[in-house]
A and B are shown apart, each in its own frame.
Chain A
Amino acid sequence: MKGLSAYLIALAALAGLVVLAFAVGRYPISLSEFVGLLLSKMGASHRDLAPNVETVILQVRGPRVLAALLVGASLAAAGTAYQGMFRNPLVSPDILGVSSGAALGAVLAIFLSLGAFLVQMLAFAGGLTAVGLVYWVGSRLRGHDPLLALVLTGVVIGSLLGSMIALLKYLADPYNQLPAITFWLLGSLASIAPRDLAIAAPLALAGLAPMLLLRWRMNLLALPDDEARALGVDTARLRTIVVTAATLMTAAAVAVSGIIGWVGLLIPHAARLLVGPGFGRLLPLAMLLGAAFLLAVDTLCRTLATIEVPPGVLTALIGTPFFLWLFALSRRSW
């Protein structure tokens, strides 16, 4: 069965990548040290371990690997849901303004010289607020196709938020705040600490869980409203749930990682190529692939050079040719 083999391959790739991601990094840790740490954590006799081994594995790589998995899965799931719901292959998770809203929140916090925690909180709140605003305005534009109204409102408000970010960059102190804003907007998993994960993971899972539970019904969202209603499904309500869930996980992801493009656009296409457009099978695979893709990219980001490579740059470098290749490959309608 085609779907099953795709799942097995994706799972195996993901497992391999996780092991690899723990094994490599700027700080050299040998396999025996790694195994020694695992054994000591499992209650085996305490062998002499360099104190940095535990710090690097548990405090640095561990949270970063988990964050890459979480952010990758969230962006891919949100992208899959939106591409299905909007019946549009060019849609990515930020179509309703979640990234622009989060970016404005973070930039405002940096501009006001607030601390790192408040930067994350304002980013998360900004993402939710932006989508709330888009949804509210979009649902009040009567006499249009509701999905079209939503997309247009998202684009328009997204660009408004973009101009507000531009204004804050312009007013920011060029020596300190402006570089901080630039670094945030580039996106990075470099500063992930266990605490960040403790906040972001529950929020992202709170979005992922309902989406996974509802995935079999989400195919109906691709139908026109009246047809779905004829089948006894309240599409407006289902849509609200999907948008809320997608926003929750994307906002949580962006709050800790900054903006990382391409994952939410590219991965759903790759998954669809493997298992077809049916949501029930598509969504879990997209999540696996998204997690694996971002983990691979982030592992490259932190190992390629002495300095960090911005993940958005790598996702675009890998994503552009891959996307074009996929597009050339797939003849059937997505």
Chain B
Amino acid sequence: MRPPVFLFFTVLIHGISFAQLPIVDATGREIRPPSKVERVYAAGPPASMLVFAIAPDRLVGWTRAFRPDEGQFVPPRYAALPELGRLTGRGNTANVEVVLRAKTDLIVDVGSTGATLASLATQVQEQTRIPYALFDGRIESTPATLRALGRLMGDDASAETLAIWYEKELNEARERISRVPAAARPRVYYGRGPAGLQTGGRGSINVEVLEFLGAQNVAAEAHAGLVTVPIEQILLWDPEVVLTTDPDFWRLAWTDARWRAVTAVERKRVFLSPHLPFGWFDFPPGANRLLGIWWAGRLLYPAAFDIDLRAKVSEFHRLFYHQAPTAAQLDAMLGEPGVLPR
């Protein structure tokens, strides 16, 4: 009799200890995921993207439903997942009961890991008894965040594949950037808003791609958040390249007399970031910004970034969105006025 009982307890203890093996998230909170994670609610777009990339069938829904022009970039059954709202501290729209009703086993968020969000996570976790993990959303942290998410969801293998690939891409980008001498790095202004007067200073999440690229952000000394700057200040900075995410500003820059004196406008170097299905350059601040690195790298350092942008985009889409874009979709994405020099 004894051996089977012993075995039974061994298995039981082993099972329990496996289920309760705590994983420490980026805020230092211990997360105890259930032994089998089936349904994951991602609290914001950067988290949705990573969960979707690792294990699309575990994602219970999107924080915001895809718009018609966005949905075509992911397989239809995933584009049709329900809209559940977001729960990330900056204007929550998700109802905790909806998260519960979606039979969620695990809540994850990727982005800022400050005390406000950590306390929100703890509070929701106590309320719902669903483990709530937070991970760092910075570009540099993406491979580590992918691995941590994979471990939490029990998808180590596919997360590892993505993490290795992402690391390889970042390393390739770093290597290419290192070929560019400091003197050859143009002065760049990133303009947001319809008049292009909003920008981010050093450390702002909005210019992370620019900082990864080691470009000279003319507004580096401004506040490390989103601020408005006077147009006179931009004339004084006189950037050689202007990047934007706002199509209105991109059009305005060519017609408005105030911008005519800016070197970037004179040299026809004002570029508009693609935005489908997720923006490349600034928002949402997730893994999608790898494409922003390739895109802006090619614009800023054409010699060092002699890459096949179409291939880069295809590969990223295939791995992270589970569907390589068609030639027509690529044409549309890269052929939009302002995306690439003509």
Interface range, B side:
35 or more
**Residue in contact with A173 in the complex, picked from B64, B88, B252, CB distance below 8 Å:** B64
Total A residues in contact with B, Cβ cutoff 8 Å:
36
The answer to whether A27 touches B197 (Cβ under 8 A) is: no
Contacts of A333 in B (CB 8 A): none
Shortest C-beta distance, A262 to chain B (Å), equals 19
Shortest C-beta distance, A256 to chain B (Å), equals 12
Q: Taking A116-B194, A191-B195 as contacts, is the C-beta distance between A179 and B226 under 8 angstroms? A: yes
Q: Does A143 contact B (CB under 8 A)?
A: no
Q: Does A56 contact B (CB under 8 A)?
A: yes
Q: Does B193 contact A (CB under 8 A)?
A: yes
Residue with the greatest number of chain B CB neighbours at <10 A, chosen from A174, A178, A194, A308: A174
Interface contact tally, CB-CB below 8 A: 100
Contacts of A178 in B (CB 8 A): 90-91
Q: Taking A59-B258, A119-B194, A169-B91 as contacts, is the C-beta distance between A306 and B229 under 8 angstroms? A: yes
The answer to whether B230 touches A26 (Cβ under 8 A) is: yes
Q: Taking A174-B86, A174-B90 as contacts, is the C-beta distance between A116 and B232 under 8 angstroms? A: no
Q: Does A325 contact B (CB under 8 A)?
A: no
Q: Does A321 contact B (CB under 8 A)?
A: no
Q: Does B198 contact A (CB under 8 A)?
A: yes
The answer to whether B195 touches A306 (Cβ under 8 A) is: no
The answer to whether A55 touches B230 (Cβ under 8 A) is: no
The answer to whether B93 touches A171 (Cβ under 8 A) is: yes
Q: Taking A26-B230, A116-B252, A302-B230 as contacts, is the C-beta distance between A55 and B197 under 8 angstroms? A: no
Contact with A along B223-235 (1 / 0, CB 8 A): 1001111111101
Q: How far apart sit A197 and B165, CA to CA, in the bound complex (Å)?
A: 53
Q: Chain A: which residue is nearest B260 at the CB level?
A: A55
Q: Does B182 contact A (CB under 8 A)?
A: no
Q: Does B257 contact A (CB under 8 A)?
A: yes
Q: Secondary structure at chain B's binding surface: helix, strand, loop or mixed?
A: loop
Q: Taking A116-B248, A169-B91, A175-B285 as contacts, is the C-beta distance between A306 and B232 under 8 angstroms? A: no
Q: How far apart sit A115 and B219, CA to CA, in the bound complex (Å)?
A: 25
Q: Taking A26-B233, A116-B252, A191-B195 as contacts, is the C-beta distance between A55 and B261 under 8 angstroms? A: yes
Shortest C-beta distance, B205 to chain A (Å), equals 9
Q: Chain B: which residue is nearest A58 at the CB level?
A: B257
Q: Does A297 contact B (CB under 8 A)?
A: no
Q: Chain A: which residue is nearest B221 at the CB level?
A: A306
List of 4 A-B pairs having minimum Cβ-Cβ separation, nearest first: A175-B283, A191-B195, A116-B194, A27-B232
* A-B contact list, 25 entries, CB within 8 Å: A25-B230, A26-B232, A26-B236, A52-B235, A55-B257, A56-B232, A60-B258, A116-B194, A116-B195, A116-B252, A169-B91, A172-B91, A175-B45, A175-B282, A175-B283, A175-B285, A179-B192, A180-B194, A183-B228, A188-B228, A190-B228, A190-B231, A193-B256, A194-B257, A308-B227
